[in-house]
């Protein structure tokens, strides 16, 4: 609103206030209709049903939710929902979420998600979609899970990876960098370790507090932002939806949080491109599918340098594209600007790397040997489909008419 509001702004503001008081809000928070197609321990795979007049076609997209954050990140509100956008275009759209984590799940480590949950979800989507390759879209920790699975399981029918706001080098995260020297003073039995072991993980209230602390500046300025946008219905609806999202966090299982704390925050292991998990070494250089990486230009949780650090590690990928888009950690995925930036790039990317039906993976693949695997041992030329050879560097990310962030966007071709 202007400092001295115009008559039409006053009328719009009055209407928004009245609607909020009478109906409880402005945002259309109806979830997109979906059907459960597969489930297991902390694994629920949903298929979003298209409208009767929309015909599904093309390769499926599987949205990979991070731990602790609700699946609302992909279906925030009508008019600003990545799910709604994909479904309205007839794209077969699926979601992986984990349900409520409880104390009984405290012994589950990252192996549960990397070895079982995500591979089973990929196979379920592959079969449900008629045997087509699956395009993984992972946000935050969901993106890290997707990368680890793609590097470790080249037998899975993964067509491409899209990673949004996944910090690989935590030394580049301002919220974490100042405390890392203090964390390294302990030997793994410090106060934080004892606390999450006693609690069986990180309970929901602490997760809510941590996410709020990361967004403290926005929370402090929220009342002023509301007052200055009282006439902007779409802006107020977005704030409502984000508030609901932030109040819907879930817990971290104890052992999984311990691995994230010691290996990512303290050890920064993924910045070197390798991670020890389940008696083996997973190397990001073994990813043999195209990878699209997004960073938000105002993301404080996963700032641009922390996300961009993954690009030189993906030496086995036939194409890596790096995009800078507007928004913070959630905004880059489902903010109002994402409708004309992030989502359009995802559309182009999935279309470019769609190849139709691919062979079905085995139902119960043999357990991998615990021996360490090198990048050379994991990369197999036969896994690279000829139709997906390295594209020229002038496609996604280098369009001169698309400039989203102050740092620009660019495609980075690999050998």
pLDDT value at 223 more than 80? no
The string of pLDDT tens digits covering residues 345-373 is 999 999 999 987 777 766 655 445 444 44
Please tell me the predicted confidence (pLDDT) of residue 370.
Answer: 47
Cβ(280)–Cβ(133) below 8 Å = no
Q: Give the three-state DSSP class for 295.
A: strand
Q: Which of the residue ranges 72-76, 155-159, 314-318, 398-402 would you say has the lowest mean pLDDT? A: 398-402
pTM: 0.76
Greater confidence, 201 or 159?
A: 159
Residue 407 is predicted with a pLDDT of 39
Residue 137 has pLDDT above 70, yes or no: yes
Q: What integer is the mean pLDDT of 178-196?
A: 47
Q: Residues with Cβ < 8 Å from 328, sequence gap 6 or more?
A: 215, 218, 296, 298, 299, 300, 301, 335
197 pLDDT above the threshold of 60: no
pLDDT of residue 139 exceeding 70: yes
What value does the CA radius of gyration of the chain take, rounded to a whole number of Å?
21
Higher-scoring residue by pLDDT: 167, 412: 167
Return the DSSP state at 386: G
Our measurement of the distance from residue 187's CA atom to the centroid of its chain's CA atoms, rounded to an integer in Å, reads: 31
Give pLDDT, residue 63: 98
Of 410, 141, 383, 376, the residue nearest 292 (C-alpha): 410
245 — pLDDT class (breaks 50, 70, 90): confident
Backbone angles phi, psi at 250, to 5 degrees: -120, -175
| Stretch 328-335: mean pLDDT | 94
Bridge partners, 89 (sequence order) = none
Mean pLDDT of 297-323: 95
- Per-residue confidence at 164, pLDDT binned at 50, 70, 90? very high
Residue with tokens 């279309």: 351
Give the CA dihedral 305, 308, 309, 311, nearest 10 degrees: -170
pLDDT at residue 216 in the model: 45
pLDDT above 70: residue 195: no
The average pLDDT across 327-335 equals 94
pLDDT for 385 equals 42
Instruction: For 1-46, write each residue's pLDDT tens digit.
Output: 766 777 776 677 777 677 677 777 788 999 999 999 999 998 999 9
Mean of per-residue pLDDT scores for the chain: 78
- Judged by average pLDDT, the poorest of 110-114, 159-163, 210-214 is 210-214
Q: Which CATH architecture has domain 31-191+271-412?
A: 3-Layer(aba) Sandwich (3.40)
The reported pLDDT for the residue numbered 278 is 86
- Give 61 or 391, the one with higher predicted confidence: 61
pLDDT above 60: residue 209: no
């Amino acid at each position: 609103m202007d400092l001295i509001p115009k008559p039409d702004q006053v009328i719009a503001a009055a209407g928004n206030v009245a609607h909020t008081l009478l109906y409880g809000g402005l945002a259309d928070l109806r979830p997109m209709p979906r059907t459960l197609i597969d489930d297991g321990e902390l694994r629920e795979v949903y298929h979003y049903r298209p409208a009767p007049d929309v015909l599904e076609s093309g390769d499926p997209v599987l949205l990979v939710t991070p731990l602790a954050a609700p699946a609302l990140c992909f279906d925030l509100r009508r008019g600003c929902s990545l799910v709604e956008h994909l479904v309205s275009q007839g794209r077969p759209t699926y979601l992986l979420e984990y349900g409520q984590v409880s104390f009984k799940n405290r012994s589950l480590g990252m192996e549960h998600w990397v070895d079982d949950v995500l591979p089973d979800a990929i196979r379920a989507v592959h079969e449900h979609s008629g045997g087509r390759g699956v395009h993984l879209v992972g946000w935050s920790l969901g993106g890290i899970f997707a990368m680890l699975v793609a590097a470790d399981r080249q037998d899975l029918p993964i067509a491409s990876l899209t990673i949004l706001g996944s910090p690989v080098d935590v030394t580049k995260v301002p919220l974490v960098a100042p405390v890392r020297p203090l964390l390294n003073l302990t030997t793994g039995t410090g106060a934080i370790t004892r606390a999450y072991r006693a609690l069986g993980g990180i309970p929901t209230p602490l997760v809510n507090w941590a996410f709020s602390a990361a967004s403290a500046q926005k929370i402090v300025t929220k009342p002023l932002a509301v007052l200055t946008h009282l006439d902007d219905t779409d802006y107020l609806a977005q704030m409502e939806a984000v508030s609901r999202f932030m109040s819907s966090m879930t817990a971290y299982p104890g052992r999984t949080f311990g691995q994230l704390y010691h290996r990512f925050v303290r050890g920064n292991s993924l910045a070197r491109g390798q991670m020890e998990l389940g008696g083996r070494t997973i190397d990001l250089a073994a990813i043999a599918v195209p990878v699209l990486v997004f960073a938000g230009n105002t993301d404080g949780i996963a700032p641009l340098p922390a996300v961009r650090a993954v690009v030189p590690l993906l030496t086995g990928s036939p194409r890596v594209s790096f995009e800078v888009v507007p928004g913070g950690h959630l905004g880059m995925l489902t903010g109002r600007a994402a409708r004309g930036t992030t989502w359009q790039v995802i559309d182009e990317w999935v279309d470019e790397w769609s190849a139709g039906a691919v062979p079905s993976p085995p139902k119960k693949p043999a357990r991998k040997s615990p021996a360490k695997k090198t990048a050379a041992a994991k990369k197999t030329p036969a896994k690279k489909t000829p139709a997906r050879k390295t594209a020229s560097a002038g496609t996604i990310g280098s369009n001169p008419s698309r400039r989203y962030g102050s740092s620009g966007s660019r495609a980075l071709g690999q050998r």
